A and B are shown apart, each in its own frame.
Chain A
């Protein structure tokens, strides 16, 4: 009696589990349907100063789209803290938006799930052709050799922001163009409680962005052509060591930066405590922190020697947001129309201007607004000397493992423990071992 009741309970639970567990991917696998052609749901990432501000910025544009096509777009602006988890949940259940923004570094991982509509030749033609977009931006929308999983929407690159007055006080007339110059200038600046360079030692993504570029400059990628991690190559080790040595050896980064993860380095910059930061588009933040536009200047991120370019003279990763269509959409045609609308020259100019980013659409870049001194640096970097982060499905593992390794190395440097080639290599070897598959 007792056991049979228990057995019954187990059966019921398992049966229920089986009923509910079979995933949500019931909708067609081929590429969405057109069951409800009159509405779209759009998940926008938070690009402006706040979620509410974004809603105010996007709503009139969505109205325009509705007037043109009769399709009503339901907008939800999702904070970055939630976006990836929401997308994961949508992917597992099949219950998601029609169109969504993704961080471009997630592209290859999301592409591997098969949840996003691939952008083949035909789809690209429908929005004006692949050639409309900056090549490096398209390269950041999925693994090489596959149809991109998304279309670039907003682009950014890294630049060197510097405090003009602090440079003048230290007798420096020009921003540095090579790392040797940066270190030399940095040593002049770093005294009396002032420091040359800011870093976000606790921010994994930022760590990755910096060491990725330095890696490129040392001729190293963090993955080989078959997608296997190669974190311990000489170039990768040298890159990580060079970055952490700004604090450990050159002493041009304040020890406190080792724990920064909430953009404190920007606050230090705005308060005149540090003279330089490497950042994506910091203008609005400086303004919010009470710094006048005339007080800071922008220059390309330094390179080992010469001028920024490709290969070993790469000086930025391709940062940005891509726009994707969810495969389970019930309005595939409408979704593509919406992507076309958002990547149209007019919308690209308007939205990127508002958000302080650079349009990945070449024609839109010609707008004079993107020739302002700071944006011009970003635009040129993007066009000539930026490379996408490794487009591998394990990108987020890479970001976590190597980003954490760099974070721990910052902690070592800040505590005065030696940072040597061996210690760097050890950390990176550990990170590599944590990569599964």
Chain B
């Protein structure tokens, strides 16, 4: 069977002979030979490296330095003079018997559950939409734009609208669930109490599935038609083709997509902040809000940074394990 071919490899042969012979018109200025071999890749990477260094890496180093200091409102004007706190900020954050540590741990659990659910659903919606729209039908282009609409609306306005819809007394959700369908005895609260977790997941999925759709749709374009044709000749139906060709071929795209979705969802700040304000209900107390409270709201940047660094370490660990597992998966699939 040839159905497990992954397009994510460079050594695919046998399709390019006819193309490579044209395209000799108009040369670009030659790059000096000296850097052509050794230097060129570095030159190409240079802008990316410089910018990442400036905007991400150096600030992060500073952030880590902050986490070792007692950086409260008394010292933010001159960080150098903030007392050295060594691991005090960390000790407070991971002391799970004390309230601050316990709250952080709770928030961590909530965030994990939230991320898994939101990423899972976003991916599911995205992949369903992408596959269903792989084939042309009338209105496909319009539908594509419709699906990307949640992505185009300004985050603040979109989330505020959801908050509007989730209101207990006047919102659309309760209007439908309670008034029209009669599913509940009492109108439920969605923005406070335990339901707030549901509300948060719904909004997060609504916001991020179009991205999954976008990326997966582009990913589908890379699957050679011949694979489907061959499978069809072998007698495979649509569902089988999806299972045997489409999904395995999306593997390399999925690998990055799922990871990145996870990282964003985990760190998402805007959604809970606009939905719940600066104090999220306990059931939906995401870690980003928690850290914001521990730094900006309470003016204790040392403690907030320490929590951020812990978060960073956790995410690094998750990513490393994830990449290890999925890469091995890819290798076995290739073999």
A residues lining the B interface (CB < 8 Å): 13-14, 16-17, 20-23, 25, 84-85, 88, 91-92, 94, 109-110, 112-115, 201-204, 254-256, 258-259, 261-262, 264, 393-394, 396-397, 400, 403-404, 407-408, 410-411, 414-415, 430, 433-434, 436-437
Contact = CB atoms under 8 A, between A and B. Distances in A.
Interface string B94-131: 00001110010000000000000000000000000000
Interface size for chain B: under 10, 10 to 19, 20 to 34, or 35 or more residues? 35 or more
A224 to B, nearest CB: 20
Among all A-B residue pairs, the 10 with the closest Cβ atoms = A433-B99, A256-B169, A411-B192, A404-B279, A397-B298, A17-B61, A259-B191, A25-B78, A256-B168, A259-B192
A430 B99 contact: yes
B284 to A, nearest CB: 12
B77 A261 contact: no
A259 B100 CA distance: 25
Residue among A258, A259, A407 with the highest chain B CB neighbour number at 10 A: A259
A270 to B, nearest CB: 14
Given A21-B62, A23-B79, A109-B73, A415 B189 contact: yes
A114 B72 CA distance: 12
Nearest to A393: B73
Residue among B74, B168, B279, B296 with the highest chain A CB neighbour number at 10 A: B279
Interface of B: 53, 57-58, 61-62, 65, 72-74, 76-80, 92, 98-100, 103, 163, 167-169, 187, 189, 191-193, 276-279, 281-282, 293, 296-300, 303
Contact of B189 (A17, A264, A414, A436): A414
B99 A434 contact: yes
A404 B303 CA distance: 20
Nearest to A400: B297
A84 to B, nearest CB: 8
A114 B192 contact: no
A393 B74 contact: yes
A436 B191 contact: no
Nearest to B70: A437
Contacts of B168: 255-256, 259
Given A20-B58, A23-B79, A434-B103, A204 B74 contact: no
A396 B293 CA distance: 10
A171 B76 CA distance: 57
Interface of A is mostly: helix
13 contacts: A14-B61, A88-B299, A92-B79, A109-B299, A113-B76, A202-B276, A254-B169, A259-B191, A259-B192, A400-B279, A407-B192, A436-B298, A436-B300
A437 B189 contact: no
A111 to B, nearest CB: 9
A88 B297 CA distance: 10
A404 B280 CA distance: 9
A21 B276 CA distance: 34
A14 to B, nearest CB: 7
A16 B52 CA distance: 14
